[in-house]
Chains A and B, each alone.
Chain A
């Protein structure tokens, strides 16, 4: 398996939507 680690998640708001089964990214959400 590959793994997306937390360095590559920094500053995005990463959304885990377990209802709609989707993962979201919103750029520039925190410094």
Chain B
């Protein structure tokens, strides 16, 4: 690029359109001129104000056969398309378009926006660039006007004169990466996934394996590229399918494949039209019923009949007293339900219908502070103790069986 210093000694520059071309609607001319100036004001600390009377810094005009004596004559159709003077008083900054050309707002003739953007580069102090990809290259080439025609060379050039604009968007913020051991960590959704538990957060997920003391952290898109970020609810049913919810849509996943025909509408499941999103979902493996949590209410869905049960929604506090609201996420692990609300997690015994523990939401990860109270670790401890005595296992299994039968009978009765 090339430029002439000092450019304009001010940052507020006026322009005036002296006349219009008959080739285009006046409003299209005005739009092309305005957009051409905006192109530069986006990358340099410049503002352009249109005036309709008096002497503006940049006087814009369509002319024929002008500049005759100077070595820059407008030469009829084709050839020279436009000309602009560098910054300065009088004719300085003035911009002329050859009226003998066919001016258009598309590519059928010479695109006024592109030529104006080039000429205004001169009006601001840039000279021609010998980079063929630059807007300031002297020869006309049509570029899709929906894309910015400014090259890095053009931007460097204008910023060499005026500095960079505070309006230039800073480098896009790097998306925040959630930290597993952040005490303020909350979850979007949690579900079992075969022999794992998956915790969703923004664009990411953590997965923990039942038998392995490892926490994996991944992008959701690494597993399911077509799933959206910021999902809101998820659960795994008894048919090896995982359902993922966001707003009024849900996707069905089998292993790493999203089943064809999804997303579908949550209204297909039987939700009323005023329900716009699901906060959390929990599948009870014993009763084969799925609970859907929406604000302070829940629905119950029969996975065997594939239908929403009648008599719902009901108040969450009625069946799950004491759990925090709203429910961000929920899932079943062994005989307990785990509800997540903000940074808290409620371990709930569905048989006795009471909260057995209140934990940090991230207690499933091996964070040192929560290590001892982690149900994940209680699982490990349980696993380690298994080798001690067969009798212990039998007794535990028997108790678990009694619990399950009792719970099943209670649920059927209810």
Do A and B share a complex?
Answer: no
Write the residues of chain B forming the contact surface with A, with a CB cutoff of 8 angstroms: none
Write the residues of chain A forming the contact surface with B, with a CB cutoff of 8 angstroms: none
